[in-house]
A and B are shown apart, each in its own frame.
Chain A
Amino acid sequence: MAKSFLRRFTYFERVVHWVVGVTFVLLLLTGLAFAYPSLFWLTTFLGGGSAARVLHPQIGAVFGVGLLLMFGLWVRDMFLDSQDRQWLGAIKHYAAHERDKVPPAGKYNAGQKLFFWVQSLLGIVFVASGLLLWFPEGFGPGLLNSMRLLHYLATLGGGLFLIVHVYLGTIAYPGTARGMIDGKVTPEWARLHHPRWTGERVER
């Protein structure tokens, strides 16, 4: 008998997610190379310092477009409701896997929703400060140096969120990553993580 699944993400959503994911990792590697002299060797992955300097902002442009699409695709699911606020209050039970004490989540839980808003905000900071650093001619040193600091702080936030995001999406909650690979999750997974979500049923 064919096992049935729930459709978590469409093909287009998955493509957009991985465009943002892959570009962000490339940006992180080259960005860390520019921020930390001891990590300058990371530029090797993009062909050395000069190539990394040229590619970093271009990849950043793709990242920006991807993020914009992502925002458009998901924004209407991302507003917090009253149960989400209770969820946030119970976040330590969520972390301790005490499911009976965690209010049921919809398609996205409150943590994911906040992640979405913070990353969207950081995206604006990345793109705005990055554009100035990409075309610095005509801007004063004070402005550019503060853009450099802002760009770094956004990286710090984005990088820390990435660690949490990858950890929770892979080893912490088995079955989650598949939703972003072939787009499917099992009904059991959905019942556990997103009880209020009724996804579209698909065979195999």
Chain B
Amino acid sequence: MDVGIVSYGAYVPRFRITPTEIGRVWGQDGKAMGKGLFINGKSVPSPDEDVITISTSAARSMLRRVDVNPADIGALYVGSESHPYAVKPTGTVVAEAIEASPELCVADLEFACKAGTAGIQMVMGMVGSGMIRYGVAIGADTSQGAPGDALEYSASAGGAAFLIGREDIIARFNGTLSFTTDTPDFWRREGQPYPSHGGRFTGEPAYFKHVGEAARRMMDRMGTSPGDYNHIVLHQPNGKFPQRMASMLGFSNEQVTRGLLTPMIGNTYSGAVPLGLAAVLDVASPGERILVVAYGSGAGSDAFDITVTDAIKEFNRAAAPTIDGLMENTRELDYATYAKYRGKILMKG
């Protein structure tokens, strides 16, 4: 029986900061930086938001759109590189908050920016084998960029949750594969507050090689070509990489645009591809085909070939905020407030 997406939900915090404002403080041409990265602003979590609250908001939106008993959820995986605790799973709180506890499998995942899609693959296997009826995979982050580092222009916050099952699926997984190597392009050592990266090394041997290979191998396996897809959703550390990658693979700009959110909200890391896929599902019609390729530094890519089903016509999208809805009612922060909210100011005691 087919395994697919039964429902999904997304969440992006309300606050934004612009590259111009970040550049103003660090003596850089922020406007040029934003143009170079194709990022016009990035989302910033409120001080009372973290991966647990973002995951919960996304998962609650996901459940609002369908009539599924949370007790039938047999597994919940949260992929992130900013879990609030080093030891105590994010998923324990999220499962309790959506009332899926206690009879379910929970674990936190980490694979840089692709831990959310790794969760989707794990849940697909459990659902497909008949081990569980429904599973939830969430990708969410409140990513960190060291003050003054190039990452500070992009590292943002958000996440999306997917309910995977076999009944009433709105999108079917035709196939998935992963491409993984030992490529140290970006890392964060235990106990370090900010990640380190290999600068330009994060491009050709890392992002472009892994995303490109996973995409090509997925299309080879499915016997498809770029023209068979309506949308392509690629990992988006900035706005430029996915556009260039899509072009290298033979996809048009129109196929990339709907799933490309980084220009508006920055790089939401583990949330990036899940949010891009949510944006596509917000507008997708039956029969549309989507190629999804996530990327996690270190490094690996997860590819998915997805076809939207007729069930999306009856799907209650309006029961929860769409991606477009989450882009409204935003508030821009100055750098000082941003630094205060992100805990970059050393406080007494």
Do A and B associate with each other?
no
- Which of A's residues lie within 8 Å of B, judged by CB? none
